[in-house]
Structure 1
Amino acid sequence: MNWKHLIGGVVVGVAASYIAKEAIIKNSGLSSNEVLQIAKAAFKEKGPINGSWIQMEKETLHTLEASFTVYRGGITRMNGDKQEVYEFVSNSETGNILDVNQLA
């Protein structure tokens, strides 16, 4: 066997495994719609909601303790005659809400 063929095969194998690993990591976790449904269920526990939205792209959130892949979204609801708007950040793997901020 020729050493060039052996080394070439190893290089191709390593490259293919790296590409496959990146594809699996990118597609792991919950979809944005699944995360939005989890967030809506959590907000509905405190009353009805009027609207909701979520960003389709995942992003990385760095904290002092760890880094998370997250989705950002929002919920609107009426409190009497006043509209309340909340923004949330949810873990893309578990759907857990990591942070909530009231905007208006």
Structure 2
Amino acid sequence: MKMKDFLAGVLTGVAAGVVVNEAVDRISQNVAADSVLNTIKDAFKKEGPIDGSWIVMKTEPYTNNVITMDVYKGGISRIVNGELEQYEFTADAKTGTVVELTKN
């Protein structure tokens, strides 16, 4: 085997390893909690102003029947017709998708 062919094989293997590593990192990363909260706030603002909001920055496990995922929990409050409305949400940490929304 020629040294040139050997080096080409090694470089190809290293490049493939870097690409696979980057893909795995992207898949396993969570969306930032601030980003999730801002997206949810923007959705609520389409229906009117909000009074306050919060989110827990640390993920926690959540099970919905068979599916288990890491989630962020948070809340939104707003005044509608002089009455305080409060909502609590649970959002998938990987995608930011709201998986549960309850009005208190």
TM-score (normalised: structure 1): 0.69
Confirm whether residue 83 of structure 1 aligns to residue 84 of structure 2.
yes
Q: Distance in 1 between matches of 2:52 and 2:35?
A: 16
Compute the displacement of 1:95 (Å): 0.9
Compute the displacement of 1:57 (Å): 0.8
Q: Distance in 1 between matches of 2:94 and 2:65?
A: 19
| Alignment gaps of 5+ in structure 1 | 1-23
RMSD: 1.7
Alignment match, 2:101: 100
| Alignment gaps of 5+ in structure 2 | 1-24
Q: Greater Rg, structure 1 or structure 2? A: 2
Extract structure 1 runs of 4+ deviating beyond 6 A: none
Q: Distance in 1 between matches of 2:103 and 2:55?
A: 16
Compute the displacement of 1:44 (Å): 1.5
TM-score (normalised: structure 2): 0.69
- The answer to whether the 8 Å contact 1:50/1:78 transfers is yes
Compute the displacement of 1:45 (Å): 2.1
* Structure 1 residues 14-39: Cα deviation after superposition (integer angstroms, max 9, x where no partner): xxxxxxxxxx69x7211111111111
Task: Give the share of equivalent positions with the same residue, in percent.
Answer: 34
Aligned residue runs from structure 1 range 40-79, under 5 A: 40-79=41-80
Q: Distance in 1 between matches of 2:93 and 2:86?
A: 21
Local SS of the residue matching 1:30: coil
How many aligned residue pairs are there? 79
Compute the displacement of 1:52 (Å): 0.4
